Structure 1
């Protein structure tokens, strides 16, 4: 389940709705605790879960990664096809704030090809050396491959947007002189759909950058004494690992 050259397993904690794996990061002399969460349905049960995890975190210093199914949202807009209960996100946000957790979400995870790039880079990497240097070199290697994939993806999406806008401009010119045929109407609708999807993706990227900036710099409206230092921050969701690679 883990690379024994990088992680030295110490113990595990098994509870109803979470499992914690604890051990030492070799080469760093730091404790790493990884929590796999499967949150219950009810708001009260989730609050009990957040309290229990907070108690575990208070008993162990070091780095924390909390991942899994939290069965909760942070804002109303994230709720889909179910009832929105304000107390649930309020409790969840309090849990995140109280423990200095930083949520990292990466919109690239939805894009086709990223997983294959990471797996291929990780499998092809070769290096001999100390565990900490090995990890640093491996992450740098994966990051370089992701950057190539990112540049190609951005270029591809840019070409698609330019093509769609050209098609829309041509159809709009036709609409000034005659009615569109059924095929042209379909093309017109599909072009608008593509532009809307591309706009939503850009919006996700912008929100992600804002969250990263806040996590690094702190809330500009908050007192500097309340901002978290890099060492004090805990880590939430497994996406944080990929984000560290992206830089």
Structure 2
């Protein structure tokens, strides 16, 4: 009846480990139509639930931990948990009070044990686990006086969990009487609006892309008097056209993929029934080749998103790249922000808080800046001063530009170096005019992506590469 009161309905199952001395026990409760238990292992310091996550039909091992205080006993526990994970053919979620921190930043007011933290980190990495980024408060345990605080509670998951739940996040909530803050693991899909524009190298391989970019660029006509403003608007308008064009091509691409797969299934059924001819085998080889080419474009996009070179990995497994992308997305995404001590997750509120923060940081100072009126004992030599003041040569700029990889995009516009190298013949003259007007008209230079400035300096006046 106590568990039913806690859970709120009768559609549940539970298992528990009794308390030992002053150490509290462990209670695991789950919804019967969400998780199906196959079997369970109960110990003084953990409960291991083996079962199936019903919505995705995935095998998941849930381990709830209440680790001991002794470093020696914790090492034994880590080794045993590692053995459970190694023998399990499925995904893993570990949660609870680990009574251990991973770095010195996770302790405040108490001694940090380097040896125990190193053993704990080795357990996490060797078991193939990653920690779910925790939002909200930094520490999960503290004394009532607040003089000592630590991050003892956390969620550790296998990388496959990030594939099943890409938007997974952990939140540390408010505490009242307890010395531990409750933590919750859930999946939050936050929509902050359209995703930023990014150029992918696979687009250059699509038939008609080059012609589309050139025709679109030459079709723009803006009446602004300053060339820099016109150039900026051209880049913005080009993004819209590329987005629409790529969306249509991807739709066609998916249709072709499905058609090829259906044709392959039909041919394989005929081959399985004994219907075989040279024409059928030749047709199958052609379909396999087309399927490989189309799949390779997808793999290249995944590799670029994950910032990992496919040639280095030597693997066409898109699941691997999906895992890298989802892992980074989970670790870097912003789920919420504190506003006057309250945790807010509404996208509009979060964006407004960030806008106000950076507006405050970059606004004009209301007071005079600090001035130092002293003589410094260590000064630069005349040779060092001349080296800093000298003009940068075209050869140095050209070398810097061509040393940049094709994935580099130092500007916020989303266009890569490879894009401007490819289409500089008709983009370059417009930027040359905008560069001239940016100073003549007193316009702020930050409108233009500054990697274009390097390109301008790397080319002759006739816009041909040196």
Tell me the distance in 2 between the aligned counterparts of 1:89 and 1:101.
15
**1:89: how far off?**
1.0
Tell me the distance in 1 between the aligned counterparts of 2:114 and 2:370.
47
Aligned 1:221-240 pairs, distance under 5 A: none
Give structure 2 stretches of 5+ with no counterpart.
1-28, 139-163, 169-186, 192-334, 337-344, 372-466
Tell me the distance in 2 between the aligned counterparts of 1:100 and 1:47.
17
**1:67: how far off?**
0.8
Matched, 1:154 2:154: no
Aligned 1:28-107 pairs, distance under 5 A: 28-106=56-134
Find the structure with the greater CA-based Rg.
2
CA 88–165 in structure 1, closer or farther in 2 if over 3 Å, else same: same
- Of the structure 1 ranges 26-35 and 143-152, higher mean CA displacement relative to structure 2 is found in 143-152
Higher RCO (C-alpha 8 Å, min separation 6): 1
CA 92–175 in structure 1, closer or farther in 2 if over 3 Å, else same: closer
**1:79: how far off?**
2.4
**1:52: how far off?**
1.5
Give structure 1 stretches of 5+ with no counterpart.
112-134, 177-247
Residue 365 (structure 2) aligns with: 169
Aligned 1:6-45 pairs, distance under 5 A: 6-26=34-54, 28-45=56-73
Tell me the distance in 2 between the aligned counterparts of 1:144 and 1:33.
27
Tell me the distance in 2 between the aligned counterparts of 1:94 and 1:49.
13
Tell me the distance in 1 between the aligned counterparts of 2:82 and 2:51.
18
Taking structure 2 as the reference length, the TM-score comes to 0.28
Q: What CA deviation, in whole Å up to 9, does each residue of 1:128-182 have, x standing for no partner?
A: xxxxxxx98x99x95146698234313223214424765x822x23999xxxxxx
**1:100: how far off?**
0.8
**1:104: how far off?**
2.0
Residue 197 (structure 1) aligns with: none
**1:18: how far off?**
1.0
Q: Report if aligned partners of 1:22, 1:32 keep a CA contact under 8 Å in 2.
A: yes
Please state which structure has a larger fraction of its residues in helix. 1
Q: What is the root-mean-square deviation of aligned Cα atoms in Å?
A: 3.3
Aligned residues: 148
